[in-house]
Structure 1
Amino acid sequence: MVGMPMGGLGGGAGGTRPGNSQKDKEWLQDHPVSLRRIAELFRPHLRTVIFVMLLIVASSLIGLAQPFIIRELIDVAIPEQNVKLLLALAGGLVLIALVNAVLGVVQTWRATLMGQKVMHRLRTGLFTHLQKQSLGFFTNARSGEVQSRLTNDVGQMQSVITNSATSIASNLTTVVATACAMVAISWQLSLISLVVLPPAIILAKQTAKLRRKITGARQREMSTLTSIIEERLSISGVRLAKVMGTGTLDAEQFTDSSSKLIDLEMRSALAGRWRMAAMSIIFAGVPAILYIVAGLPVTGDGMSIGTLVAFTGLQAGIFRPVMGLMSISIQWVSALALFSRVFEFLDADQALPVPNQPRRLAHDAVRGEVEFKNVDFRYPGARANTLRGINLKLEPGTMTAVVGATGSGKSTLGSLVPRLLDPSSGTVSLDGVELRQVQPQDIADVVSVVAQESYLLHASVRENLLWAAPNADEQQLWNALEAAQIAELIRSLPEGIDTQVGQRGHRFSGGEQQRLAIARTMLRQPKVLVLDEATSALDTVTEALVQQALDELALGRTTLLIAHRLSTVLRADKIVVLDEGQIIESGTFEELVKLDGKFARLVNNSELAQQRS
């Protein structure tokens, strides 16, 4: 079968998720993202954004009342044995905790709901957009890249929205409010506390940088390990390993990668521990300095115990949000990189655009006339056209076979009928309506393809059939299986039609998979059928069974038969010979044999000559 080196996405699918801040920066240099476009995602949720920000500010301000209450407790209520004030202040501490807890729950609820709605909009928009891409888009995309952006990148954006954004707002509000409260309590002690901030910030940045470097290496090695698992433990991978005898080598590669992960995990766990220990000593030393200052006659004159305790509590609480703000740049770059990667796929041009007002085709009204007019096709990046000047009409209810050497353009021609590709020039029409103008769903409803390699869902036989016709009843399912020459086999299985087909259908043989795919196609009742070398990979006995099923399927339908074995073209009403993308001969079997041209030579050199003699 002729392979289809589809083009589509011009170099846009490179690489996996950036592993660290430096790679995020490099990505953004090549793929800048508009802040206005990101803001547009949140425009429908502007009220929620404002509400969440107000909750954050309120929570921070309410929390700052705690040290002032503690100061009053220590300096006034307890020394004076003022029970009424004591109970009021103690109740105030409990009330602050209660209010902040409620605000925290409401904030998390609204922020998470907003984030989920934004992600839902992005996820569904991206999925729908990707469905409209040509096969070339997915051919050029690296393995797993589409799934990674749709699940991993969008999923990580949820964390950015609901955690990072609210964390930045909360930390900023807390730092400003706490600093003001510290100055209000004692500006002298505030100056002393500020002295330790620079070394703490420097140590924190060095630690973060070291950890990012190790984390990047760990993510890359984890990606390698995951790749080994996916490739070696798939059905095809296990089969290949057993046939090639590479099981020991595969195990050694997995062991080596796993051993590297041990080292990286240890380095990650210990990264910056000495620096963090130094920071802990600095943090512990600040209260000690404050106590000394408060205890000296020169500096501590007039400072109450309550003031010292309240200030110490504020000082201890300001370092965490300060450190959080230090990581804003990293979070910001990572967030922009995530948005950029998703937007890149959303911005990918559709190779198969849909008109604003597409033509609709009613299934029952379609006759099935397909016509190619002056069709040329060239794959992106190719030096020459794969198809050149194709003029061909498929009459309703007839079978047209396309034959030719490998690379002549047979499969490309077949891909134009269900509009898996669009011609570079010229038109392909169905019942006189150009396919570019037809609603894609209508094309799928009336045109079906049976290819050499069938694809079955990892589900039951019933679910695979219902995937094509969700409203089909039990009798219709069995009728399709009967027509596809596989009903008897399905009945003989312990679970019958509810038997699981396995990954990619490996529970069944190649011929059985093909017949199940034919049964599924029958349920769609297509008006136009493309048979793309559907029996070329089968043995003679299996081919005969599949051919029976195909004959039943093609009965009364406009059929384009792409033939690898010339024996399959005997039943065709018309035969077209392709050579280097051009139709060089066309006619009935007998007409082409009498012509004594390319087709006649193909016949004489094939097993068909023996069958006819």
Structure 2
Amino acid sequence: MKKGSIALYKRMLVYLTVYWQWFLLSILLSFFVVNFEALSLWFGASLIQTLFEPANASMVRPEFSINNINELLKYWTYQAIKRDSPFESLKVVCGLMAVTFFLKNLLIYIKALVMAKLNLVIVRDMRNQLFDHVLRLPVSYYDRTKSGNIISIILNDVQSINASMTGTFDKLFVEPMRLIFFIAMLFIINAKLTLAVFIIFPVLGYCIGAIGKSVRRRSKRSLEYMAGLISILHETIGGVRVVKMFNMNNKENTKFQNENDRFIHHSYKSTTIGAISSPLTESLGVVVVIILLWYGGREVLANGTFRAEDFVRFLIFLFSTFTPLKALGAINNTLQRGFAAAERVFDVLDQSEERLIFLKPENVPVFNKGIKLSGVGFKYPGTEKAVLQDINFSIDKGSIVALVGSSGAGKSTILDLLPRFYDINSGSITIDGRDIREIDLAGLRELFGIVSQETVLFNDTVYNNIIYGMPNASKEQVISAANAANALEFIEKMPEGLDTIIGERGVMLSGGQRQRLSIARALLRNPPVLILDEATSALDTESERLVQAAINNLIENRTALVVAHRLSTIRHADLIIVLESGKIVEKGTHEELIALNKKYKYFYDIQFASSAIEAAT
């Protein structure tokens, strides 16, 4: 493996070392498996002597030396199996072979259970760590990354890493152990013939390495196309109503099929290249075996210097080396697929996290005076254009401040800066004179409650959606919050009331009902500062009336920063700020801005005219 691959593999093994006891047990079981396998092969070769040449079996113990190890092993074998008749000796050989095969396979089964346990706990730990890390990544990461790609990494890539790790680390010990053991036996039986075997090893190594490199490259592409497939699925299923309404079934189907075809194409290429490894290894090995058969057979038939029993035993062990050789070739391909997945997983894990720790009450900042933005400038990461320039205003405690402007003026960006979803590039944002960059992130966000145009609800009960963020709230508090949010009436009409499952993203509810549940959740949390981002812009008139009434209950005696689409909802704001191209162009009360007769008056007149037309029709 190359240096980069070794570094990746070390990082992968960190998850395995936590359960080192289980892995050590697996290695120990593997050691016994190899030994019993070798014993069964050795006893199998002893059939030649037992059946055909029992009289030639050496019953004199040879002196110990390197050259005599083969004879010494054969002597001990004969001592173990030698009986009064060949038939009795045959029974002993068959019995020993049966016992060794049974024990080998029993240990293989136990080892498989151990590795299955390792496999499951490692997948669990890796996914848990990755999911926890993903939740700690800044909002900027989500803005530039497809959600389908994140899902694919957590589900598919982690599985690929685990298959690579648990499927190879055990074999990286077992297969070389088997290979070394078998080759050692070959040297013991006939060193000259064994040396000839090593001629093929460098060729095999080069072929396996070249194939593995190509498999890794194509596996990474396959994973990327799988992420693309999941992204298309996520977007299409999430927006299925739009797809159906615009009759875009065929277009979405074509897009999915094209991406799926690309995934299949690269997966097949990866499999095609990987599949050649095993037959190539075996074919090269067979060439060597044919040469050895010719040479070894001549030694047995012509010179008599190589006994038939030794030659058969040599061939048995030689053919047995093919299995670990083929396995090592397959291991390399599996490793390369795992490395391709590991690069993507560790790329996510190497992303800088937000400095977000568990919330401690003492870390929640004091909020007695207000929030101040001084000379704030901001541009999104990776871009050159400034989104906000020299923003200056204050939000006094208990006041309502509204942001108004055209689409793209920077209103929602300001809302993202307060809870530090993004950090400013210049200037400062302070709470009671303290820079928010010096405040604990979890404590800072505890100050804010958010109700946005895009309501986020979960596939859970109404009750659990309301208490999200406040798990210890009582049922009475939940009912009170729902009532204040004008949500209790429709909740009581639902089949199971508060215990009704509302579907993914609250799909079982209307837009106004979803928004009122979101307001109930904010009311229950009772945050010092509320952020309202065009909370009524997507609602019909009746829903808007109910939601606006709920919002009025929500912001009563509370500090609020509001982005409003309908100016009628912010007429009573203490301060209205008009933004244009990332700059403040006007600020004041509703009356002051109307009297100023500039941008705000223009917006107001447009909406007033539209309302008058609607009323007339």
String of CA shifts for 1:126-181, please: whole Å, max 9, x gaps: 33333232222111113412222223222221122211122122111111111111
Cα distance in 2 for partners of 1:230, 1:481 equals 31
Cα distance in 2 for partners of 1:257, 1:604 equals 49
Matching residue's letter, 1:145: N
String of CA shifts for 1:532-567, please: whole Å, max 9, x gaps: 111112222221111011111112221101122211
Greater shift, 365-374 or 254-263, is seen at: 254-263
String of CA shifts for 1:405-435, please: whole Å, max 9, x gaps: 2222111111122222222122223344332
Structure 2 residue 234 is matched with structure 1 residue 245? no
- Which SS does the other structure have where 2:316 is aligned? helix
Alignment match of 1:144 (pick from 142, 145, 148): 148
Match in the other structure for 2:37: 63
Q: Which runs of 5+ in 2 are unaligned?
A: 51-80, 613-617
Match in the other structure for 2:504: 503
- Which SS does the other structure have where 1:607 is aligned? helix
Which aligned pairs between 1:271-350 and structure 2 lie closer than 5 A?
Answer: 276=279, 286=289, 290=293, 294=297, 298-299=301-302, 301=304, 306-350=309-353
Is the CA contact 2:486–2:547 (under 8 Å) kept in the aligned structure 1? yes
Match in the other structure for 2:175: 171
Identity %: 27
Cα distance in 1 for partners of 2:161, 2:408 equals 44
Match in the other structure for 2:65: none
Q: 1:592 to 1:210 in 2, by over 3 A?
A: closer
Q: 1:373 to 1:487 in 2, by over 3 A?
A: same
Match in the other structure for 2:551: 550
Match in the other structure for 1:589: 590
Which aligned pairs between 1:200-279 and structure 2 lie closer than 5 A?
Answer: 229-232=233-236, 234-236=237-239, 238-248=240-250, 250=252, 276=279
- Which SS does the other structure have where 2:446 is aligned? helix
Cα distance in 2 for partners of 1:256, 1:349 equals 34
The CA deviation at 1:527 is 1.4
Match in the other structure for 2:61: none
Cα distance in 1 for partners of 2:16, 2:347 equals 19
Greater shift, 307-316 or 403-412, is seen at: 307-316
Is the CA contact 1:203–1:276 (under 8 Å) kept in the aligned structure 2? no
The CA deviation at 1:319 is 0.7
Greater shift, 273-282 or 249-258, is seen at: 273-282
Matching residue's letter, 1:63: E
The CA deviation at 1:47 is 6.6
Is the CA contact 1:446–1:527 (under 8 Å) kept in the aligned structure 2? yes
Q: Which runs of 5+ in 1 are unaligned?
A: 1-20
Matching residue's letter, 1:314: F
Cα distance in 1 for partners of 2:261, 2:339 equals 33
String of CA shifts for 1:473-511, please: whole Å, max 9, x gaps: 333332222222222222222233333322322222222
Cα distance in 1 for partners of 2:381, 2:332 equals 40
**What TM-score, normalized by structure 1, do the two folds share?**
0.78
Is the CA contact 1:372–1:393 (under 8 Å) kept in the aligned structure 2? yes
Match in the other structure for 1:514: 515
Cα distance in 2 for partners of 1:210, 1:602 equals 61
Which aligned pairs between 1:390-405 and structure 2 lie closer than 5 A?
Answer: 390-405=391-406
Matching residue's letter, 2:176: L
Alignment match of 2:100 (pick from 80, 83, 96): 96
Match in the other structure for 2:448: 447
Structure 2 residue 373 is matched with structure 1 residue 372? yes
Structure 2 residue 128 is matched with structure 1 residue 127? no
**What TM-score, normalized by structure 2, do the two folds share?**
0.78
The CA deviation at 1:378 is 1.8
Greater shift, 521-530 or 202-211, is seen at: 202-211
Cα distance in 2 for partners of 1:297, 1:268 equals 45
Cα distance in 2 for partners of 1:146, 1:216 equals 15
Q: 1:503 to 1:112 in 2, by over 3 A?
A: same
Q: 1:312 to 1:474 in 2, by over 3 A?
A: same
Identify the structure with bigger relative contact order (alpha carbons < 8 Å, sequence gap 6+): 1
Is the CA contact 2:375–2:390 (under 8 Å) kept in the aligned structure 1? yes
The CA deviation at 1:279 is 5.4
